[in-house]
Amino acid sequence: MSKSILIHENGGPEKMQLADVEVGSPGPGQVKVKHTAIGLNFIDVYTRSGLYQTPLPNAVGREAAGVVLEVGPRTKGFKKGDRVAYCGVLGAYCEERLMGVDQLVHVPKGVSDEQAAAIMLKGMTTEYLVDRCAKPWLKKGDIILFHAAAGGVGLLFGQWAKARGYKVIGTTSSPEKAALAKRNGYKWVIDYTKEDIVAEVKKITKGKGVPVVFDGVGKDTWNASLDCLQPRGLMVSFGNASGAVPPQPVGILNAKGSLYLTRPSLNAYTATRKDLEASAKSLFKMVKSGKVKISIDQRYPLAEAGQAHIDLESRKTTGQTILVP
């Protein structure tokens, strides 16, 4: 039996309950994985609350690292004892599970299980945002804007973008978070509780605005993000931390300067095995090089996943958080 955090109906953190689950043996193309660390992400909140509809019951999370316990028949590329990690696969809040090997990647030496569990989703999100999604809009030396700079993706993004030669403006909600962001690659930080985001961005860019805004906050920052863009700039709306952006008239993009808009997802950027392996390889290479440093800022026992969600939603967490089975 494996301990698992299950939700049987959508709602608040109290809907997550610890339960015993029979795992069974892996079938063809599968392995049994024993988790050593589980990543915590805001998408887990969306799953639990029902913002993102998923089959019930489920074990909520989508990211973890661990070791292969058992290999199913006709399964290639993995063996017992391999260190592995994954992201984007629902059901991670558990001690053990069966996994299709198409969804797994090997964790190399030089990257710990905790690091892998904490950064698979956020790190590969950062990789596609910087290196693929916005690359046609950017050249070295450009100033770009990222909201929620002290969050899990934010701290990785600041380091990654700096390593690629961009100058990054971040937004945060406190002096402590601003200091953390500056330690992680941000050249400028705007405290949106005290400063006007648009005015500060225009001041930094001498009135030009930025070519790209990366917005994982959603509803609360939508208007400011558009107003920070240069004509023909790109709005990358990749998350809904403050809630979903309400329906918008397409003409707003014209009125704000012939803007471009994309609503990307990690699934689309890792849709093939080739893309998945390339993204993970780039991520692990960046971590091993030291250009992107990973700090595990919070650890919660698996049984306390509900408290982890409470702290995440109330913005008490910073950086990377893991659940420990």
**Domain spanning 138-263: CATH 3.30.70.60:** no
Q: Is the pLDDT of residue 322 over 90?
A: yes
Kindly report which listed range (117-121, 124-128, 142-146, 301-305) carries the lowest average pLDDT score: 117-121
Q: What percent of the chain has pLDDT over 90?
A: 90
Give the mean pLDDT of 277-294. Answer: 95
Give pLDDT, residue 123.
94
Give pLDDT, residue 178.
95
Give pLDDT, residue 317.
85
Give pLDDT, residue 265.
93
pLDDT tier at 244, thresholds 50, 70, 90: confident
Contact present, 70 and 23 (Cβ < 8 Å): no
> Strand pairing of 210-215 and 229-237?
parallel
The average confidence (pLDDT) of the chain is 95
Q: Is the pLDDT of residue 43 over 80?
A: yes
Contact present, 149 and 156 (Cβ < 8 Å): no
pLDDT tier at 291, thresholds 50, 70, 90: very high
Q: At what angle do helices 273-289 and 113-128 cross, to 10 degrees?
A: 110
Contacts of 190 (CB under 8 A, 6+ apart): 169, 170, 171, 172, 197, 200, 201
Give me 22's structure tokens: 């029979």
pTM of the model: 0.88
Q: Is the pLDDT of residue 242 over 90?
A: no
Classified by CATH at the fold level, domain 2-120+270-324 comes out as: Quinone Oxidoreductase; Chain A, domain 1 (3.90.180)
pLDDT tier at 312, thresholds 50, 70, 90: very high
Residues of the chain with CATH 3.40.50.720: 138-263
Give pLDDT, residue 235.
98
Q: What percent of the chain has pLDDT over 70?
A: 100
State the greatest distance between any 2 C-alpha atoms of the chain, in Å, as a whole number: 62
Give the mean pLDDT of 202-220. Answer: 96
pLDDT tier at 17, thresholds 50, 70, 90: very high
Give pLDDT, residue 1.
87
pLDDT digits (tens, 9 = 90+) for 161-178: 999 999 999 999 999 999
Q: Is the pLDDT of residue 51 over 90?
A: no
Residues of the chain with CATH 3.90.180.10: 2-120+270-324
Give pLDDT, residue 151.
87
Is residue 181 packed enough to be buried (19+ CB in 10 Å), middle (13-18) or exposed (0-12)?
buried
Q: Return the bridge partners of 67, or none.
A: 34, 83
pLDDT digits (tens, 9 = 90+) for 23-42: 999 999 999 999 999 999 98
DSSP 258: S
